[in-house]
Amino acid sequence: MATASSETLVDLPAGVDLHARPAAEFVRAAMAFSARIVISVDSRDANAKSLLSVLALGAKGGTPLRLRADGDDAPAAVAALAGCVAGLRD
């Protein structure tokens, strides 16, 4: 049986950089899923469940983020994380 996968693009809200507090909120949301989740900025990938990896992306407000997940709950994970990113506040 094939593993489910899902992917989407979502813009980081204007004025919200992916620094400690917003990144921690995003990572907490990612940790709720069993799927392998990757967040990408330009050509740089990070494990969405690793705060240090997400912080290292240095994403600034308005930056497009690619969210990719593989696993049984991948579609739900991508949908939830896209909503999480859209709702981030600085």
Active-site entry in 5, 19, 61, 71: 19
Is 4 known to be catalytic?
no
Name the β-bridge partners of 68. 7, 38
Cα Rg of the chain, angstroms? 12
SS (H, E, C) 8-76: EEEECCCCCCCCHHHHHHHHHHHHCCCCEEEEEECCEEEECCCHHHHHHCCCCCCCEEEEEEECCCHHH
Any idea which residues carry the catalytic annotation? 19
